[in-house]
Amino acid sequence: MNILNQRFNTQYNTAPFTKIKTEDFLPAFIASIDKTKAEIDTIVNNSEDPNFSNTIEALEYSGEELDRISSIFFNLNSAETNDEIQKIAQEVSPLLSDFSNDITLNEDLFKRVKSVYDNKSNLNLSTEQATLLDKKYKGFSRNGANLSDDKKIKLRAIDKELSQLKLKFGEHILAETNKFEMHLTDENDLSGLPDGAKEAAKQLAESKNKDGWLITLDYPSYIPFMTYADRRELREDLSRAFGSKGFHNDELDNQEIVLKIANLRFQRAQLLGYKTHAHFVLEERMAETPETVNTFLNELLDKAKPAALAEFNNLEKFAKELDGIDQLQKWDSAYYSEKLKQKLFDLDDEKLKPYFKLENVIDGAFLVANKLFGLQFEEINTIDKYHKDVLTYKVTDADGEMVSIFYADFFPRSGKRNGAWMTSYKTQMIKNENNERPHVSIVCNFTKPTKSKPSLLTFNEVTTLFHEFGHALHGMLANTTYPSLSGTSVYWDFVELPSQVLENWCYEKESLELFAKHYETGEVIPMEYIEKIKASATFHEGMQTLRQISFGLLDMSWHGIDPSDIKVVKAHELKAFEDTKLYPDVIENCMSTSFAHIFQGGYSSGYYSYKWAEVLDADAFEYFKEEGIFNKTVAEKFKTFVLSQGGTENPMVLYKKFRGKEPEPEALLRRAGLIKKS
């Protein structure tokens, strides 16, 4: 029997990565789809009248094996992919799309679900059960169950094509990232680069049997070069390469794919009776409507734009005084921002990095989780890994009870997409009175160790680690009955609250002193550095906020309208960026063609949620600050009402249970320095 089509005979039921062959996946998917279809048939053919148990719960617990296989496969496709896996993904995605539609368009199954839904007032359901019933019913009604047969056929065709296009979009970006190399043989070209970045570039060149130094589009290579390299023309070359991914009119071009995805999403929404894709998506978000999102972004724009313009003019003036630069370009942004920051705060990443050895930062995140939630992390080496760099931990609570298995994967490689994300290999649920604990993973792309130095993180990488670890805690501490409501299965404009709120501990003396210790001397980070980190926290906040708003507006410009008149991706993008533009446009660059969040991931019509969740996180952290950042009472409330509850209740209800009131948007503006603190 295929290893994937059985309960894994492993410690903690973890995925047996080293025993799984790539060729196992396709037959495993096919067998598991057939098995789940049989489970659905059992529900449909049940001679008893439909009730919550034999229909809603039975449907919820069906397909458990298929979900497990999917999580393993698609996580590998993001973190450790190859040509073979990508080929299987292209074969499997339409199968899964068809299968999903087989369920949501199954009239007999929908009749049973609707029967239970129509009788819900007589069922005496718990809050979680009522939420599950509502979610199951909407899963059908929002995805075509009420459509005529001819429209159901159209929906199936759209969903199948979308599943393949999204995969192809991501494959192109990964291929573009891997394809580009800046090969430098003159050490003068590395002027300004820190020693660690030089050493990493040399090591990368050696690994590919080349002399000199290699700079790539992977973040740990790209970011230091753009921040420190004195050679402006080389920064320009690198910036143009980074900004033109998927925009070369070649076999890896994404322009046609972007247009197709936007139009198919619109057609799908129209089929289902919605004005636009954004109207469809936002019905199931805290924001509820595109109008609310646009109002939110534009109100934030009004507050941020004056500050952003002032910061930009000041930066341009600084660059002119320093180097005679008349017109700041995008490839100047990080470089002169870093120089100005050093001048204003006498602080830069090279001073801070020795205090942020990766292993110490990991331990710091664990210590924060221990002080807040009583969690213990024990590294174990008895669990199978999908790559040798992956770290594995057993997580227990204060009573020694198993909470979660935790995987951490920190360094870039050719089979891994850029960026950072949290995911899971096994979902938490309570089934047959057994609380199945989750297997959670975070994946990042941090600076690798070199021959002479361990992995030393920039401060931005430190906050990224805490951000993803916040998502991980949301997954680990899940404690719900139903898997589809567990952990991070929440509204997408609420899911960023746990991740973004945890970043705040990176700026606090009480927290930093736990782990920010010099990798050679063990000296705790000096108080003056902590004060400078705090002081510089709002440096260029106006420009950063404007940047995030621009991405949110671009997202809404694709998904909040009828896109059928859009013929030129770049022209559309320029129009969307009009109100947020600071730097001159680079004609060869296009963001949409590599905007994986909205065209490959799940953030379409949802990119605004980063800023939306910042309102929640700033307000939530003010509560911690008022009572003490490690206050057990506040932490317990956050765990009880936010981290453990998943999507069992409306997120604003959960937030108010934690905070005692609705969030105040002013908390974000105060923290960002965009309004004065009272």
Query: Could you list the active site residues?
Result: 468
What six digits make up the tokens of 288?
Answer: 């509820």
The C-alpha atoms of residue 501 and residue 372 are separated, in whole angstroms, by 13
Question: Which residues 6+ apart lie within 8 Å of 101 measured at CB?
Answer: 143, 144, 152, 155, 156, 159
Please tell me whether residue 4 adopts helix, strand or coil conformation.
helix
Q: Structure tokens of 80?
A: 């450790």
Q: Output the CA–CA distances (angstroms, integers) from residue 148 to 159, 267, 312, 670, in the order listed.
A: 16, 15, 55, 52
Partnered with residue 443 across adjacent β-strands are 409, 421
Note every long-range contact of 140-146, with CB atoms under 8 Å and residues 24 or more positions apart, other chains counting.
140/104, 140/109, 140/110, 140/113, 140/114, 142/272, 142/280, 142/283, 142/284, 143/101, 143/104, 143/105, 143/272, 144/101, 144/104, 144/105, 144/271, 144/272, 145/104, 145/105, 145/107, 145/110
- Total residues belonging to the chain: 678
Angle at 400 between CA 397 and CA 406, to 5 degrees: 55
d(CA 424, CA 442): 8
Give 3-state DSSP helix, strand, coil % of the chain, rounded to 5: 60, 5, 30
Question: How far is the C-alpha of 356 from the C-alpha of 587, rounded, in Å?
Answer: 38
| C-beta atoms surrounding 528 within 10 Å | 10
Query: Strand pairing partners for 33?
Result: none
Residues 6+ apart with CB under 8 A from 10: 16, 383, 384
Cα torsion for 120, 125, 131, 134, to the nearest 10°? Answer: -10
Give CA–CA dist 385/369, Å, rounded. Answer: 24
Alpha carbon distance 553, 521 (integer Å): 47
Contacts of 190 (CB under 8 A, 6+ apart): 184, 198, 201, 213, 229
CA quadruple 212, 215, 218, 222: dihedral, nearest 10:
140
Residues contacting residue 287 through CB under 8 Å, at least 6 positions apart:
293, 296, 493, 608, 609, 612
Which amino acid, residue 210?
A: K
